[in-house]
Structure 1
């Protein structure tokens, strides 16, 4: 996905997030982020965008605590969120192909646009679940969010960041995600659990377990925002449950 598309989508997703939290009680608990009230979720989004922009401009920085973020009063949230997203998009587009620091080694700055776009998308779903608002995501963005999450899980560095991810290693067990709507690629995702970690490809074929359904539902189940029963599970349900039980970000 081109940097310009990622930047536009980040601004759109941030604006949608801001609309979802507008007028909500800051102390509303977020069921899919159970340790956070809504004001901390808002703080995390704006803080993460600014943190990523600082990394693009200046290099690595300590991961901030979202409880330390100060998004202001609820009537200031929308402008604060917009400013953070605009800061990141400007920093990333200005950097172009210049390599910048990431957890997984130096990469072009669009890494942070993509990471923050999909983090914002999933947390938009969190906000919608907390407030009862509607949530939708375009199929191409849902598909790229799944691919990006698999990129994270398949990188050897990831298990050192969260030991639970090391439990995703296996001896050749396979999972398949099959979207029921167009994602611009069409074949779904075939995931293999190897002794060295997770491997994946965009491919059709059979697997030990297949999760199928609309791409939005697949994304939200795969990121543990909706229960497994929201999609159709064919094959070894226990394998799917084990995967989801060890992929909490």
Structure 2
């Protein structure tokens, strides 16, 4: 349900890769990433460049490939990180152009258009851009349309058929019709419904048993579990415990 066309997703991947590279530049390669405490900065950088190349290779080969180990990535010396990251993003963009954005390919949720991987990598890069900034103290920024699509993609992943088999803890998010809202300060928001059969969601005016409100970029960080509900940049109304329980199960 992305509202972004392929050209904007390409542009977004370039924007967020460049932002990630700027945020990582000059950082200590061994600095612990506070939002991914099992990784040093070098591994975070390696993960992004490695993931872009992995997705590109899958598209070119037309078959699934083993998920690579970020600890085995080789981003090289920090002075070369920016070029290495940019090259990885361009490799993925080139593979999308070669295969065709609408061509069905393998994904972990079943056959999807190849643009699935462009979007998946753009969203992953955006969230990890924040992680790099949190590590080095750099400024973080993301356009509103990209931040909104990161939230939408997350909702789609959580509610997709087969998601519970990939992440069994999602069963714990089933409920009795409770409604949770994510309300941006401009435009429509997101409403998640916890039904007995699983999650479903919709875009539109936000009403719910629990609502988190704020700027869309900050809501993206809440939904990716980077920004706590107690942060002054966001406001919570309704059943806070319901939101806390939902966020505790959001990692995909």
TM-score (ref. length: structure 2): 0.95
Aligned match for 1:93, one of 84, 93, 97: 97
1:86/1:205 Cα in 2 relative to 1: closer, same or farther (>3 Å)?
closer
SS of 1:178's partner is strand
Aligned match for 1:159, one of 151, 164, 187: 164
Deviation at 1:166, TM superposition (A): 2.0
After superposition, the C-alpha distances for 1:59-95 in whole angstroms (9 at most, x for unaligned) are: 1001111001001111111111111100001111222
Aligned match for 1:78, one of 79, 82, 86: 82
Aligned match for 2:130, one of 120, 125, 128: 125
Aligned match for 1:65, one of 45, 69, 73: 69
Contact 2:189 2:206 in 1 (8 A): no
Unmatched runs of 5 consecutive residues or more in structure 2: none
Deviation at 1:205, TM superposition (A): 4.1
> Structure 1 residue 139 and structure 2 residue 144: aligned?
yes
TM-score (ref. length: structure 1): 0.96
Q: What's the RMSD between the two structures over aligned residues?
A: 1.0
Aligned match for 1:240, one of 230, 240, 243: 243
Cα distance in 2, alignment partners of residues 132 and 87 from structure 1: 29
Deviation at 1:142, TM superposition (A): 0.7
SS of 2:12's partner is helix
SS of 1:36's partner is strand
Deviation at 1:203, TM superposition (A): 1.5
After superposition, residues 193-204 of structure 1 pair within 5 angstroms as 193-204=194-205
Count how many residue pairs are aligned between Structure 1 and Structure 2: 245
> Structure 1 residue 22 and structure 2 residue 25: aligned?
yes
SS of 1:228's partner is coil
- The residue aligned with 1:54 is 57
Contact 2:34 2:131 in 1 (8 A): yes
Cα distance in 2, alignment partners of residues 115 and 156 from structure 1: 17
Contact 1:128 1:134 in 2 (8 A): yes
